[in-house]
Amino acid sequence: MTTDGKLTLHVPEPAVRPGGTPDFSNVKIPKAGAVPRPEIDVEPETIRDLAFSIIRVLNRNGEAVGPWAGLLSDEELVAGMRHMMTLRTFDARMLIAQRQGKTSFYMQHLGEEAVSCAFRMALQPGDMNFPTYRQAGLLIAGGYSMVDMMCQIYSNSRDPLKGRQLPVMYSSQEHGFFTISGNLATQYVQAVGWAMASAISNDTKIAAAWIGDGSTAESDFHAALVFASTYKAPVILNIVNNQWAISTFQGIARGGAGTFAARGLGFGIPSLRVDGNDYLAVYAVAKWAAERARRNLGPTLIEYVTYRVGAHSTSDDPSAYRPKTESDAWPLGDPIIRLKNHLILRGAWSEERHKQAEAEILDTVIAAQKEAESFGTLHAGAKPSAREMFEGVYAEMPPHLRRQRQQAGV
Amino acid sequence: MARMTMIEAIRDAMDVMMARDEKVVVFGEDVGYFGGVFRCTAGLQQKYGRTRCFDAPISEAGIVGTAIGMATYGLRPCIEIQFADYMYPAYDQIVSEAARLRYRSNGEFTCPMVVRMPTGGGIFGGQTHSQSPEALFTHVSGLKTVVPSNPYDAKGLLIAAIEDPDPVIFLEPKRLYNGPFDGHHDRPVTPWSKSDLSEVPDGHFSLPLGKASIVREGAGVTVLTYGTMVYVAQAAAAETGIDAEIIDLRTLLPLDMETIAASVRKTGRCVVVHEATLTSGFGAELSALVQESCFFHLEAPVVRVTGWDTPYPHAQEWDYFPGPARVGRALVETMEA
């Protein structure tokens, strides 16, 4: 309570630091199936409470319950399972490859696999994602070549980006995956523009914008929401709240807002909050938002509540700022284990099939890795030509760059 | 042919391109219904509808960011930042995104976009309606930077910019919108209608980006300049009687080094003139390039006449603006050096 006297500055702190006991008692988790599923043409102001709850489908027993359940077949869920397992295995192998010095840098998705893998399945060919560096599930689930992803990570002679980009900054027009930038939040407003262009052109394609909890503090986030709201752009505005922005806990970006989803309400954008570790819930919510966009009903904002289990990147050590066992205490569990339990309950999966799938996927990833490494790694083997450095700055190389290329002797 | 002001020529360029290519969209603050605070987009919304020409929220990052998204979709946005002084909130989008999309995606995504912005001083615009930030764009790989100085060039260059496959920063000297200005602020303004340069071809025509124009042939000294300073330099040459060869660069990047080098090798002297501040301004690049490519032909040091290294003041407008007297002195000193 403020009394007369000197002012003090409020600086939010996470509940627990290294050495402490992880505590998520402040994270209110509603029961699976408890949140209603509104009609897609709902008036945004009538569903304001959805921005403060969490849409969940899978309950503690692994059953799919409530109004958001029942959208996916056994086959689709098994495919989703394999996508998530593939992404996790891919991450593990690339993390090791970085430690072995085969590349300079890597960022994993550990614990967040459901978000991008399930979301991808709600899109149609021609739609465009504007991802951050932590949505490679969009590529994996979209059928992009793992070899090409690895070649990009290795910056080798087959790197689709010719060695110009840091590892994991993929780009694939064909797979609806916009070129990743190191500058945070820039793509959020670009996604809105892309969606506006689709509407201007009377097209049927929609865009999906992606951002993390920390980057919502960037001004481009706010610009994106204003433009999406003003022009009712056919865009899904995704916020992946994994609780951490490198070492900074989400409270620093969120401030006094109850949730990140609540940010959308002030812009008149329907805003949902979903269990990001629940493959079925992520898919159901993404489908709802995609349908709204496709029916020209405008943007939807979605906050995925999840947890960044891994380090921020290969250059980060989370034990310096959060308890080592914090991820074990995360109340929404692990997306792969939760879907596995559900599939077993449905009779569409078994421990045996899971182990078999793990082995198959590992073989596939290792085979892809061998193939990728045959085209070189960062410090060994074939490399992109130094001439590539000068190409593609402009459509046509201007005279000053031709001179510089000549000087470089390439 | 029709007589046009620079405003009309710019509007006509957008009109021509919007009629030819439905992918061309125009938006910005007050650009739609109202037709722009400088009237550059007047009538376009009525003619092409609200989805081709529209008003934007006051968010430069939003305007440029959404335009980039549109360009990567396949449209050709020609957007407006109301004053170049207000482009800074969009600078991240311009530098980190528009300029690098083609490079970082290996050509998968491109950004055919024009960012128009009124620039320059001489209008009592004070600190935030007078700046000339061109050096902040020419330093960025992947951008093209254009500064027209007359209605004819403005239309031809803007059409070329809209058709260009790469992002183009199109800086419009607002002091020249209604007529040429030679820095003699105490004399009546001449309207464009009195100048041959206001004769603008009807319909579609374009001028190549990266080509300078020699506006006055001479043998004594080469003047490298652009925008409003083209007229100041012409006045200075006339008043000092010095036989200056005045080159209007028109495009700063890519730069027409052939024309520049040929002229300096002929004259042996070079004066660089711009409104922007001196230190690390575009004149430094010009000076270095001339020194590198014409060293053995130079009979005097390359001289720069520019705005002072201060924010653009209000009351001291004519002490700041590099007028014909200052430029004339530099011409004389260079000839005597």
Distance from CA of A189 to the nearest CA of B (A): 5
Distance from CA of A299 to the nearest CA of B (A): 15
Chain A residue closest in CA terms to B94:
A186
List all residues of chain B from 160 to 189 with a beta carbon under 8 Å from chain A: 164-166
How many Å is the maximal CA-CA distance in chain A? 71
Distance CA(A179)–CA(A260), nearest Å, equals 25
- Which two three-digit tokens encode residue A267? 């812009």
The residue ranges of DSSP E strands in B126-220, in sequence order, are 144-146, 168-173, 199-200, 213-216
Give the CA angle between residues B211, B304, B253 to the nearest 5°.
25
- Which two three-digit tokens encode residue B229? 């300073």
A165, A169, A197 member nearest B75 (Cβ): A197
Q: Is B108 in CB contact (< 8 Å) with chain A? A: yes
Q: Is B291 in CB contact (< 8 Å) with chain A? A: no
pLDDT band at A319 (very low <50, low <70, confident <90, very high): very high
At B59, the amino acid letter reads S
pLDDT per position as a tens digit, A51-95: 999 999 999 999 999 999 999 999 999 999 999 999 999 999 999
Average pLDDT over residues A300-307: 98
Which residues are CB-contacts of B95 (< 8 A; sequence separation ≥ 6)? B140
Average pLDDT over residues A1-30: 90
Residue A3 in this model has a pLDDT that exceeds 70: no
Residue A1 in this model has a pLDDT that exceeds 90: no
Whether A201 sits inside 8 A of B73 (CB atoms) is yes
pLDDT per position as a tens digit, B254-312: 999 999 999 999 999 999 999 999 999 999 999 999 999 999 999 999 999 999 999 99
In the prediction, which pLDDT does A269 show?
98
pLDDT band at B118 (very low <50, low <70, confident <90, very high): very high
User: Does residue B222 sit in helix, strand or coil?
Assistant: strand
In the prediction, which pLDDT does A27 show?
87
Q: Is B69 in CB contact (< 8 Å) with chain A? A: yes
Q: If we measure between CA atoms, which residue out of B251, B35, B43, B266 comes closest to residue B153?
A: B251
Distance CA(B67)–CA(A230), nearest Å, equals 15
Whether A207 sits inside 8 A of B165 (CB atoms) is no
pLDDT band at A26 (very low <50, low <70, confident <90, very high): confident
Whether A161 sits inside 8 A of B102 (CB atoms) is no
- Which two three-digit tokens encode residue A23? 């505590």
B57, B93, B109 member nearest A230 (Cβ): B57
pLDDT band at B215 (very low <50, low <70, confident <90, very high): very high
Whether A200 sits inside 8 A of B59 (CB atoms) is no
List all residues of chain B from 10 to 49 with a beta carbon under 8 Å from chain A: 25
Q: If we measure between CA atoms, which residue out of B323, B1, B324, B321 comes closest to residue B151?
A: B1
Average pLDDT over residues A134-149: 98
Does the CA dihedral B103-B104-B108-B109 come out positive or negative?
negative
Average pLDDT over residues A213-229: 98
**Percent of chain B's residues with pLDDT above 90:** 99
B70, B89, B93 member nearest A186 (Cβ): B93
List all residues of chain B from 254 to 273 with a beta carbon under 8 Å from chain A: 254-255, 257
Counted across chains A and B, CB pairs separated by less than 8 A come out at: 142
Q: A162: which chain B residues are within 8 Å (Cβ-Cβ)?
A: 106
- Which two three-digit tokens encode residue B163? 């058709």
Residue B97 in this model has a pLDDT that exceeds 90: yes
Q: B97: which chain A residues are within 8 Å (Cβ-Cβ)?
A: 181, 183, 186, 190
Alpha helices in B192-301 (DSSP H): 229-240, 257-267, 282-294
Whether A400 sits inside 8 A of B166 (CB atoms) is no
Distance from CA of A133 to the nearest CA of B (A): 14
Does the CA dihedral A27-A33-A39-A45 come out positive or negative?
negative
The answer to whether the beta carbons of residues B317 and B175 sit under 8 Å apart is no
B61, B69, B164 member nearest A191 (Cβ): B69
Distance from CA of A72 to the nearest CA of B (A): 31
Chain A residue closest in CA terms to B168:
A394
A165, A173, A200 member nearest B51 (Cβ): A200
Chain B residue closest in CA terms to A127:
B73
Cite the active site residues of B. Answer: 129
A172, A223, A230 member nearest B65 (Cβ): A223
CA distances from B44 to A33, B24, B41, B50, B137 (A): 52, 12, 6, 9, 28
Which residues are CB-contacts of B135 (< 8 A; sequence separation ≥ 6)? B276, B280, B281, B282, B284, B285
Distance from CA of B23 to the nearest CA of A (A): 8
Q: B101: which chain A residues are within 8 Å (Cβ-Cβ)?
A: 179
- The whole-chain average pLDDT of chain A stands at 97
Q: B65: which chain A residues are within 8 Å (Cβ-Cβ)?
A: 186, 188-190, 192-193, 220, 223-224, 227
In the prediction, which pLDDT does B245 show?
98
Distance CA(A156)–CA(A176), nearest Å, equals 23
Distance CA(A138)–CA(A121), nearest Å, equals 9
Q: Is B76 in CB contact (< 8 Å) with chain A? A: no
- Report ipTM for this prediction: 0.97
pLDDT band at A2 (very low <50, low <70, confident <90, very high): low
Distance CA(A184)–CA(A211), nearest Å, equals 8
At A218, the amino acid letter reads E
Whether A220 sits inside 8 A of B61 (CB atoms) is yes
